[in-house]
Structure 1
């Protein structure tokens, strides 16, 4: 008696699922989802193509580019964005000497406590300190950024789809809102105080264009010209390194594992052939 009831219950669930699926398909065909401004922009925007030295399974970081990217972050992005998971001493991995790291840390003021009074204070940074936040708390951050809290950039390149490619597109994508968009979607006009960017999911950012003009950052002699495009590439590469500093080691480990597995597979195959060769010969002779 229990089994027939269980079978009927199961059939009921299956019938309900089929009915729901059919209803969804009918609704999608008869009442298609109306196009939104975001969909229209995605269909009409020009895709930006950029390549980095660390792309692909053999990719490696360009230390000079990472140093330029740190300079862009330090002189532009750090005014609003923190990198609380990166310590000054980590910069040695991108080619800065210990003396340079010590000087960089000393040039920054980090939060501390007055040893005499216990009151909040600041002190000169040490290589072991982490990058300080530009704001004491989220309330201050919102007050300075049109009620938006700038995201921490430590893991930004891994937290956003597209990673450094998305960051590059965003930094170079600010533009005037197309009249054609407003013609189709009058309500999509960028609100006062926000900035239109077709590469941002919501289309409108509270952040003004951080890289506003060529030469905003002065690179050392021997480096590429600091155009907006170049600065965006460099800081995107630096943020990728900050989010995944062990990328090169991971690539080397992956290739070592692949080679080990290939060699192991070859040994296993020849061992198999050696062990079973005589048995196959005896079986063939017996047949």
Structure 2
């Protein structure tokens, strides 16, 4: 019995030792991550905190803003960036009727097959088609953009940290690097074909400022199309393309949460009722 207790005690001590080592390593690594700057780190800015109608648990889409953002994408961003996970018919969710969607789809050329020759060709789009890629392949995309392939924007706000704020901040954040920045970080100077943007992690990117002047897009609702407004609107539109069911998810979550709370209370009361007879009676 004494030998068995000794073995158990040793096992417990060994396990406790491993746990303490793991905890120490975790704390040490977390401290290093929070206090040390990685090699080559450049002082980029965190995205601005912008208020959107769909923020928070009770958020809702601002349909007019989504339509404005779609117009910015169509007239500016679509020249380089695709939306390969969005179909033309999805635009009905933004308040466009069937005729408008059909007309818009027909105005775009999508890949097709010639029924007579079997060769690849293009044809007017249908509502069931997806937004076409502006380039036939990555080689052509890189050749037209200083060897940088423009990313697809369908899920962009999900692919970046604080995605919606990041997109809006990036699009309106182009500027010239300050003298203080260049003095401290000479490597931050934009190279050939690069443009300075304090919200981009390495401060310089190949995409030229896409939104440059007020009135670059004419909004149907009369809103003044400033660079800030267009940036915010297209960021909201890309939030919708990345998660079009966001609002429905939030609206569904509350009834589910209330049901779970009710079920928990009901289960607790049932347990109390069932086990009441099993409790020992006091003398």
TM-score normalised per structure 2 = 0.84
The corresponding residue for 1:243 is 242
The corresponding residue for 2:66 is 66
1:103 aligns with 2:103: yes
With 110-119 and 198-207 compared, the bigger mean Cα shift is at: 110-119
In structure 2, relative to structure 1, the CA distance for the partners of 1:219 and 1:261 (3 Å cut) is: same
1:231 aligns with 2:230: yes
2:123 match: secondary structure: strand
Contact 2:175 2:196 in 1 (8 A): yes
Return the alpha-carbon distance in structure 1 between the equivalents of residues 37 and 68 of structure 2.
45
Contact 2:218 2:225 in 1 (8 A): yes
The corresponding residue for 1:179 is 179
The corresponding residue for 1:57 is 57
1:151 aligns with 2:186: no
Equivalent residues, number = 264
Return the alpha-carbon distance in structure 1 between the equivalents of residues 202 and 83 of structure 2.
24
Return the alpha-carbon distance in structure 2 between the equivalents of residues 238 and 33 of structure 1.
34
With 68-77 and 113-122 compared, the bigger mean Cα shift is at: 113-122
TM-score normalised per structure 1 = 0.83
Return the alpha-carbon distance in structure 2 between the equivalents of residues 34 and 279 of structure 1.
62
1:110 match: secondary structure: strand
Return the alpha-carbon distance in structure 2 between the equivalents of residues 33 and 226 of structure 1.
39
In structure 2, relative to structure 1, the CA distance for the partners of 1:258 and 1:223 (3 Å cut) is: farther
Please list the CA deviations of residues 117-168 of structure 1 after superposition, one character each: whole Å capped at 9, or x if unmatched.
2222111110011001100000000010000000001111111111111100
The corresponding residue for 2:216 is 216
Deviation at 1:270, TM superposition (A): 3.0
> Please, what is the CA RMSD of the aligned residues?
2.8
Return the alpha-carbon distance in structure 2 between the equivalents of residues 35 and 110 of structure 1.
45
Unaligned runs of 5+ in 1: none
The corresponding residue for 2:3 is none
Unaligned runs of 5+ in 2: 1-6
Return the alpha-carbon distance in structure 2 between the equivalents of residues 63 and 149 of structure 1.
31
